[in-house]
Amino acid sequence: MDPAAYRYRPPKPNYLPRDVDVDEPVVEEYHMPMGRADDRENAIFFNRMKRTAMESNIVRPKGYTVSYHANPEMEKHHFGQTHPMKPWRLTLTKSLVSAYGMPFAMDNYNTRAATYEELKSFHASDYLDYLATAPPEDQPRDIDNPDKEVKFNLGGSDCPLFHGLYDYCSMSAGSSMDAARKICNKQSDIAIAWSGGLHHAKRSEASGFCYINDIVLGILQLLRCYPRVLYIDIDVHHGDGVEEAFFSTDRVMTVSFHKYQPEVFFPGTGGLDDNGPKSEHNPGAHHAINVPLNDGITDEQYESLFQGIIGKINEHFRPSVIALQCGADSLAGDRLGRFNLQVQGHGACVAFCKRLGIPMIIFGGGGYTPRNVARAWAYETSIAIDCQDKIDPIIPQHAPWREHFIHETLFPTLEQILGEPRANRNTQKRLQEIVQHVHEQLRFVAHAPSVQSQIIPPDLGGIRDDVEDRIREENEAKDENLRKTREEGVGDPMEL
């Protein structure tokens, strides 16, 4: 690896709660409405969800299988009252997906936490040990002293040490790894893990709200079964952690679309000329594609750029599987992002990748306005199961926490979101230059590159099977309702 490629660190962290004037929209206190429904309320909601699925003809897609991977225990965690990352967005997403009846069209997995051995397939032992044993701290160390040292970048404003941190990270990684395993063993063609997508974490360092890089762990699983993985990142921030992890291999191509303003915007990496190792003798040369963007890019520009670049990469690299990170902070109205993307433009990227007909994992990622996150990820779930034209654009009346969406539509306009769209600083000339540069880089990428690998990801099969067999037995013993639902055939296409 070229050490200069990751030498730069921005002068300020991504999140500065001490500077209220600068970060006022970021640090607004957000109280989570985490009320727990009783059995009667759950039964009523389930019946409404089932009726919506039948009325909208939400059924399993033909010819392929979609799976949904989540651990509801993640939703109970909290980074801190003023921290932008809100795990409650996962609750809001799940509630909206369920309200539309989409779970009936997918295989739904309540995933387990990743084991220490599984996390160690990428992360360093001393880092994991500290992550597991460091006591929680109620206040970040750098609030009063910005220059105070923090070990492994843990304990500062960006990556606070909150209660249950190690469990939270293990559950996030567990869902992504489970999605990868279902792709590997052909149980799924599209696997969804919205709780994953934490693309900044390094082998021995937390970064940008990310502690464990679940994407890298998932891709390591995929590389055991697939020769080439295409990683695509549509988060507003550069996917630096994933790019760095696979910097020197030709088996993974990383592509990141992101805002690039290195002096002021985190993480400050991902320039147009950053295309992997500079040495042509390194297999990873030309296998990192970066698409730096300015504020205000629109749906039309983004979709054209995405299709022009990913279509060409698909022709040259010929991936066997796609790992797509769908960070929702690239949407208009995000607390940290500054694009003019709407739900439709964001979802168009998922739809384009799906049309390629390649197995795919869809990860979550950033997204700091929960209602926007839930809209986008629910819509993209509908694209995965091929029912985007069947769902009602008006959010169902029985959707939990419906009032938190403010606007009742799944597709609010820019005027509704922002009042006035942000100034678009992306000229057509600049976007054409980006496409030309990427196409030039792809000239150096050999078609169907070698699949030889000197380092094989560790075989964790024995550990995995023991844990999963135990969990499966426990779930089957207590989940009689699952059998009854399957017998009803809800979500299965019926004969006329």
CA 175 – CA 483 distance, rounded (Å) = 23
CA 340 – CA 421 distance, rounded (Å) = 6
199 is in an annotated binding site: no
237 is in an annotated binding site: yes
Considering 83, 200, 258, 346, which one is annotated as catalytic? Answer: 200
Report the chain's C-alpha Rg in angstroms: 22
Strand pairing class (229-233; 321-325): parallel
80 is in an annotated binding site: no
Q: Which residue has the tokens 């023991």?
A: 466
> Which residues make Cβ contacts (< 8 Å) with residue 356, sequence separation at least 6?
314, 322
Give the containing element (helix H, strand E) for 362. strand 360-363
**DSSP count for the chain of H helices, then E strands:** 15, 8
The three-state secondary structure class of 121 is coil
How far is the CA of 466 from the CAs of 3, 115, 192, 327, 463, in angstroms? Answer: 40, 11, 24, 33, 6
235 is in an annotated binding site: yes
* Nearest alpha-carbon partner for 309 in 449, 215, 437: 437
CA angle 283, 284, 287 (to 5 degrees): 130
- Annotation says 447 is catalytic: no
CA 206 – CA 212 distance, rounded (Å) = 7
Output the known binding site for a divalent metal cation: 235, 237, 329
Output the known binding site for substrate: 158, 208, 368
Catalytic residue positions?
Answer: 200
Output the known binding site: 158, 208, 235, 237, 329, 368
